[in-house]
């Protein structure tokens, strides 16, 4: 009827007083399957992949550059050591030449008194024997052993029959003197002299200990490298770990004989790649070998490797924060639109 007020149901009044339809709960953008999180994850994955790829390339290039620098530096050191040892052998030959010349100027008794000027810390003895092995000249008055046959010694027979100007022996224990057993290298040569109108022949020896050779080979190489000496047959003349080698314990970082070619090369060693530099001497049938581990950045213990790892972690954290922020800015308008549509 006109003018009559229609009374709404009680439930409808309560519903309208409450503000209409109940509002939907706004979805959280941090939900694991939300568009924001998915966008952030994709952005982070792509960024990390790019960072790791660039890091690997840079790290590999740095390793190669450092290894090349180490190889060149050590090759120069090895060459300098080889020149120094060559000069040392030349000095020993010059000393033997001087003694050989004095044999023609002074009798044996007088020459014995003059030989002391040639004594050095690295020379154990200088001696001259006749063809029968009888000692004629020596640098001091030490008593020689009578139970040893000088003519059967390898340095004596080698110098007698080789026809060469001089020979350099393998490292050996010299047993000429009573109670003395020095570890030496012997330079031996055939000599001749004229005395009282007669010509005589004999063998001269210059026994060298390892003090000078050890000093010359003690030059430090980069990356924990070292220098040693072999003969042309591959037998070790000097090595920093010589006692271990003679005890039958061969260090893992000694390159095999087939890998010892003149010049610089990179070979496989027991613990990885080795930079090997070989120089052949001109005054002895020896080769000076420099060995260095090719460790690249790992050469510097606790250095660049640690810094690179920390840098990658910090960069990853920065990328994660940046990815979340950028994703938030990209998704926020769409998220707001979806929220508004949910209210309709």
**Strand-pair partners of 263:** 278
Residue environment code for 72-97, b if the CB has 16+ CB neighbours within 10 A, otherwise e: ebbbebbeebbebbbebbeebbebbe
Q: Which of 165, 183, 212 is the last residue of a domain?
A: 212
pLDDT at residue 306, as a whole number: 64
What does pLDDT average to in each consecutive run of 10 residues of the chain (344 residues)?
52 49 51 62 76 78 77 86 94 93 86 83 92 88 85 91 87 89 94 87 94 89 82 87 72 65 77 83 92 65 59 74 70 68 62
Residues 127 and 81 grouped into a single domain: no
Residues 285 and 235 grouped into a single domain: yes
**Extended beta strands in the chain, E state:** 123-130, 135-138, 167-168, 172-173, 183-195, 198-208, 226-231, 236-238, 263-269, 272-280, 286-293
Q: Which of 195, 212, 229 is the last residue of a domain?
A: 212
Residues 76 and 167 grouped into a single domain: no
Cα–Cα distance measured from residue 317 to residue 57, given in angstroms and rounded to the nearest whole number = 21
pLDDT at residue 202, as a whole number: 93
- CA distance readout (Å), 324 to 29, 290, 336: 11, 54, 17
pLDDT at residue 301, as a whole number: 46
pLDDT at residue 15, as a whole number: 45
Residues 225 and 83 grouped into a single domain: yes
pLDDT at residue 98, as a whole number: 92
Residues 219 and 311 grouped into a single domain: yes
Residues 128 and 189 grouped into a single domain: yes
Q: How many domains does the structure of the chain reveal? A: 2
Domain assignment present for 5: no
Q: Which domain holds residue 202?
A: 90-212
Cα–Cα distance measured from residue 147 to residue 177, given in angstroms and rounded to the nearest whole number = 10
Domain assignment present for 330: no
Q: Which of 203, 149, 157 is nearest to 176 (CA)?
A: 149
Hey, is 121 helix, strand or coil?
coil
Residues 195 and 62 grouped into a single domain: no
pLDDT at residue 94, as a whole number: 94
Provide the whole-model pTM.
0.69
Angle between helices 304-343 and 35-103 (to 10 degrees): 170
Inter-residue contact 101 to 187 (CB < 8 Å): no
């Amino acid at each position: 009827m006109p003018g009559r007020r229609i009374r709404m149901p009680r439930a409808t009044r309560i519903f309208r007083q409450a503000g209409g339809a109940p509002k939907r709960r706004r979805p959280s953008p941090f939900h694991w399957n939300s568009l924001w999180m998915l966008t952030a994850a994709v952005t982070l994955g792509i960024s990390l992949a790019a960072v790791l790829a660039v890091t690997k390339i840079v790290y590999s290039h740095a390793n190669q550059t450092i290894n090349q620098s180490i190889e060149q530096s050590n090759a120069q050191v090895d060459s300098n050591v080889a020149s120094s040892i060559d000069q040392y052998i030349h000095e020993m030959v010059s000393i033997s030449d001087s003694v050989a010349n004095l044999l023609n100027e002074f009798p044996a008794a007088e020459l014995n008194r003059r030989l002391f000027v040639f004594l050095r810390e690295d020379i154990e003895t200088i001696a001259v024997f006749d063809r029968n092995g009888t000692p004629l000249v020596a640098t001091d008055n030490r008593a020689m052993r009578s139970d040893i046959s000088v003519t059967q010694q390898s340095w004596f027979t080698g110098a007698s029959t080789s026809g060469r100007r001089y020979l350099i022996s393998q490292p050996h224990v010299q047993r000429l003197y009573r109670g003395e057993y020095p570890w030496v290298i012997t330079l031996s040569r055939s000599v001749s002299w004229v005395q009282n109108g007669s010509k005589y022949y004999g063998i001269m020896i210059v026994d060298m200990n390892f003090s000078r050779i050890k000093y010359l080979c003690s030059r430090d190489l980069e990356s924990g490298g070292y220098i040693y000496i072999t003969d042309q047959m591959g037998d070790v003349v000097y090595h920093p770990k010589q006692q271990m080698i003679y005890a039958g314990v061969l260090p893992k970082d000694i390159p095999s004989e087939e890998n010892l070619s003149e010049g610089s090369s990179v070979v496989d060693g027991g613990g990885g790649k080795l930079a090997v530099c070989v120089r052949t001497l001109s005054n002895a049938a020896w080769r000076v070998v420099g060995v260095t581990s090719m460790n690249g950045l790992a050469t510097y213990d606790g250095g660049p490797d640690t810094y690179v790892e920390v840098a990658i972690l910090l960069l990853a954290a920065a990328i994660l924060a940046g990815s979340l922020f950028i994703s938030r800015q990209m998704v926020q308008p769409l998220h707001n639109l979806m929220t508004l549509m949910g209210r309709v």
